[in-house]
Structure 1
Amino acid sequence: MIRLKTGLEGRKTRFGNMRERLEESGYHLGGNWDYHTGYFDRILNREEGETLYIRAPFDVIAGRLDEDSASIKFRTPFLIKHVVNIGFDSEDSSLLTSTFNQFQEPVDKDGRIPDKKKWQEIGVREVNRLIAILE
């Protein structure tokens, strides 16, 4: 995981408006949300079984997350890499095609991110785009 130092932390907005604008920019609401906290995710890179995400966590400060009118406040964004198991398709391994189960749990939810400086710079640029959407 790489924490990003940006101007996003502490910014407030309405959940519904932000969700719509971020979905148009390739973000989605992460699956582990509850009524008081959540995060917006966007894939930055995907190679074989490794996916690098930018994650913008937030807290609900008024209302509930299932309400468009809920107020949210962003926390520190970060990069995270998920690694899934890639192997041969057990039904027909003679085809020699590698496949993976898209619904499986990651083998490593916080995989090592090589070239941290490069991805940190990319992550900060992406958060700056997110901040521009906020304004």
Structure 2
Amino acid sequence: MIEIKTTMPGKKALYGDCREILGEHGLQLGGGWDFHQGHFDMVLKAEDEDKMYLRMPFVVVDGMLDEDSAMIEFGTPFIINHIMNIGLDDEESPVLAAVGLDQFQTPDDPDAPIPNSQMWVDDAEEVVSRFSESGIFIAPY
């Protein structure tokens, strides 16, 4: 994982606005969210089982994440290299398979090393800067 140095930490905006604008820049709400926190993800590189992500974490400071009017506050964006397990799952569960919840395997390495890291940092900083200049943020009180 490599943290990206940006002006994003502490910026607040409405979730619905962020979802729309970030979607225009290729970022989508990532899995693992709940009503109080989440992250927007973008694949910077996808090659075989290797995926390099830009991840922009946030917390909900007012409302709940299923509401467009929820106020969110961003944390520090980062890059992560996620190497997927494309083989058979040795720990498969017949119960999970029966209810359809076994479709995703544990990754081989959820935080693999990031080769050519400066290239990815530059790419991620460019994406974040386009979003951070969008004018949707709430001015601090």
- Corresponding residue for residue 42 of structure 1: 42
Q: C-alpha separation between the residues in 2 aligned to 1:69 and 1:105?
A: 34
Q: C-alpha separation between the residues in 1 aligned to 2:74 and 2:123?
A: 19
- Percent identity, aligned pairs only, is 46
Give ranges in structure 1 of 5+ residues lacking alignment: 88-101
- Corresponding residue for residue 62 of structure 2: 62
Give ranges in structure 2 of 5+ residues lacking alignment: 88-102, 137-141
Offset from partner CA, 1:26-56 (integer Å, 9 cap, x none): 1110111111110000110111110000000
Q: C-alpha separation between the residues in 1 aligned to 2:60 and 2:127?
A: 22
- The answer (yes or no) to whether the contact 1:45–1:53 under 8 Å persists in 2 is yes
Q: C-alpha separation between the residues in 2 aligned to 1:81 and 1:60?
A: 26
Is 2:17 the partner of 1:17? yes
Q: How many residues get paired? A: 122
- Corresponding residue for residue 5 of structure 2: 5
- The answer (yes or no) to whether the contact 2:3–2:77 under 8 Å persists in 1 is yes
Letter in 2 for 1:113: I
Q: C-alpha separation between the residues in 2 aligned to 1:21 and 1:130?
A: 7
Deviation at 1:132, TM superposition (A): 2.4
- 3-state DSSP of counterpart to 1:120: helix
- The answer (yes or no) to whether the contact 1:4–1:78 under 8 Å persists in 2 is yes
TM-score of the pair, normalised by structure 1: 0.83
- Corresponding residue for residue 32 of structure 1: 32
- The answer (yes or no) to whether the contact 2:25–2:127 under 8 Å persists in 1 is no
- The answer (yes or no) to whether the contact 1:35–1:65 under 8 Å persists in 2 is yes
- The answer (yes or no) to whether the contact 1:18–1:134 under 8 Å persists in 2 is no
Runs of 4+ in 1 over 4 A off after TM superposition: none
Pairwise CA RMSD of aligned residues?
1.7
Deviation at 1:133, TM superposition (A): 3.2
With over 3 angstroms needed to count, the CA separation of the structure-2 counterparts of 1:42 and 1:133, relative to structure 1, is: farther
Offset from partner CA, 1:52-82 (integer Å, 9 cap, x none): 0000000101001111100001000000011
- The answer (yes or no) to whether the contact 2:81–2:112 under 8 Å persists in 1 is yes
Q: C-alpha separation between the residues in 1 aligned to 2:85 and 2:36?
A: 32
Deviation at 1:23, TM superposition (A): 1.6
- Corresponding residue for residue 117 of structure 2: 116
Letter in 2 for 1:39: H
